[in-house]
């Protein structure tokens, strides 16, 4: 048996922490000293990006916080506006770097202090994007020498890099010990693919290639997100993830709020704000999210203190114009919708494609809600709870 001792468990007072395997450990710690929570993020995030890359044929990246993704994306090119909003410096981007920029840019405020995972060998372009960000570590199936050297110089040499064996496949049965008792189940190894989008009971039945990609992305994200969970995706990246809520409508509300804030960040008045010298990247992200209403605002004095000149608030017409950017978004749910209220809320911000397991006694009402809003909904028959 191979075992690696860890400094402590979930909290500093929980000692005797370790990670072990009956065979060789399927990873190498190439930098830093990952802890218990780091490995929970590292192993879950790696599974997400590996599966997302296999499903789409594109490089994938994710930004994880507390065993759930803050964002995930595939490696599509970035527009000039996206580079500006996602705080990507000038320079050539590889597809993997674009995937990372999109994943981090999905929810930059939540990504503060994240764990990153990428589906391909880490390259220099991606490492250079990671270097200025506040992040705990990264999982990758290898790293170029120059990329590894960049990250080994981060955080005074303590930045954590876990290089995972991409050929490793875990046993089909997984076990967890809780309260001294062992729970066992088959791993959730059902592949998520286009076949899960074949049953469409709504009047709108057309789900184009881009929408199918986004629905698959959202479903794979939910497979590794703490339940209950809902994800909204568009353009090959998540826009908002609502997770860990007891009520599904609250998951949808969180996802919609984050997706709305994502769109409002593109308004020219938000992009054009001039921050005072010395304002850190995360404070800039926090300012933007408070200004567009993505989080509860502090007093205006704090907001005004970070910028040279406070812009005028966005009015309803300007906010609506920004939301046109995410028209045709896709939303997936890890469990069925018990009421149509989730559809009404999501459709109001531009969701036009939905994937959910189905199986509620109120499925007929949910379908009627989709028909009213012109939403195409696939009943996947696949619940994706993750605990």
Q: Which of 38, 44, 223, 228 is catalytic?
A: 228
Q: Which of 66, 282, 373, 386 is catalytic?
A: 66
Q: Each residue of 167-197: pLDDT tens digit? A: 999 999 999 999 999 999 999 999 999 999 9
Of the candidates 38, 44, 65, 234, the residue annotated as catalytic is: 65
* 44 assigned to active site: no
Task: Give the pair of three-digit tokens for residue 212.
Answer: 């199918």
Strands (E), 6-118: 18-21, 27-31, 60-65, 68-74, 114-118
Q: What is the pLDDT of residues 223-280, one digit of tens each?
A: 999 999 999 999 999 999 999 999 999 999 999 999 999 999 999 999 999 999 999 9
Note every long-range contact of 148-151, with CB atoms under 8 Å and residues 24 or more positions apart, other chains counting. Answer: 148/30, 148/31, 148/122, 150/124, 151/31, 151/122, 151/127
Q: Please, which pLDDT band fits residue 91 given cuts at 50, 70 and 90?
A: confident
* Residue 387 annotated to the active site: yes
Instruction: State yes or no: pLDDT of 134 exceeds 80.
Output: yes
Contact 189, 54 (CB under 8 A): no
Check whether 294 has a pLDDT greater than 70: no
Decide: pTM greater than 0.85: yes
223 is catalytic: no
pLDDT digits (tens, 9 = 90+) for 366-375: 999 999 999 9
Q: How confident is the model at residue 213 (pLDDT cuts 50, 70, 90)?
A: very high
What is the mean pLDDT of the segment spanning 288-303? 78
**Residue 366's pLDDT is what?**
96
In the predicted structure, residue 338 carries a pLDDT above the cut 90: yes
Residues 6+ apart with CB under 8 A from 250: 242
96 pLDDT tier (thresholds 50, 70, 90): very high
Q: Which domains does the chain have, with CATH numbers?
A: 2-164 (3.40.140.20), 184-263+323-379 (3.40.140.20), 268-313 (1.10.287)
């Amino acid at each position: 048996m191979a075992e690696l001792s860890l400094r402590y468990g979930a909290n500093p007072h929980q000692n005797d922490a370790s990670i072990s395997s009956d065979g060789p450990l399927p990873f190498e710690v190439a930098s830093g000293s990952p802890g218990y929570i780091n490995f929970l993020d590292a192993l879950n995030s790696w599974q997400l990006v590996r599966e997302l890359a296999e499903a789409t044929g594109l490089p994938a990246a994710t930004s994880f916080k507390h065993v759930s993704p803050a964002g995930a994306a595939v490696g599509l090119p970035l527009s000039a506006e996206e580079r500006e909003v996602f705080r990507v410096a000038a320079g050539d981007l590889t597809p993997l770097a674009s995937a990372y920029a999109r994943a981090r840019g999905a929810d930059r405020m939540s990504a503060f202090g994240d764990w990153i995972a990428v589906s391909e060998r880490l390259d220099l372009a991606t490492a250079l994007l990671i270097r200025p960000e506040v992040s705990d570590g990264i999982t990758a199936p290898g790293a170029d020498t120059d990329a590894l050297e960049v990250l080994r110089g981060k955080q005074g040499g303590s930045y954590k890099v876990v290089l995972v064996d991409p050929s490793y496949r875990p046993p089909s049965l997984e076990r967890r010990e809780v309260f001294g008792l062992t729970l066992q189940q088959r791993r959730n190894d059902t592949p998520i693919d286009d076949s899960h989008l074949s049953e469409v009971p709504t009047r709108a039945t057309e789900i184009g290639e881009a929408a199918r990609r986004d629905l698959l992305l959202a479903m794979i994200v939910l497979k590794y997100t703490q339940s209950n969970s809902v994800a909204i995706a568009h353009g090959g990246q998540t826009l908002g993830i609502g997770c860990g809520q007891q009520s599904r409508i609250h998951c949808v509300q969180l996802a919609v709020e984050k997706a709305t804030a994502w769109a409002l960040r593109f308004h020219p008045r938000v992009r054009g704000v001039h921050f005072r010298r010395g304002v850190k990247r995360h404070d800039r992200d926090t300012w933007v999210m408070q200004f567009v209403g993505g989080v509860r605002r502090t007093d205006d004095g704090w907001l005004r203190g970070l910028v040279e000149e406070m812009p005028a608030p966005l009015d309803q017409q300007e906010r609506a114009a920004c939301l046109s950017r995410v028209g045709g978004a896709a939303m997936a749910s890890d469990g069925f919708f018990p009421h149509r209220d989730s559809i009404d809320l999501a459709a109001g911000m531009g969701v036009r494609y939905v994937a959910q397991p189905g199986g509620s006694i109120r499925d007929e009402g949910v379908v009627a809600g989709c028909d009213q809003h012109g939403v195409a909904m696939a009943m996947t028959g696949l619940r994706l709870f993750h605990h």
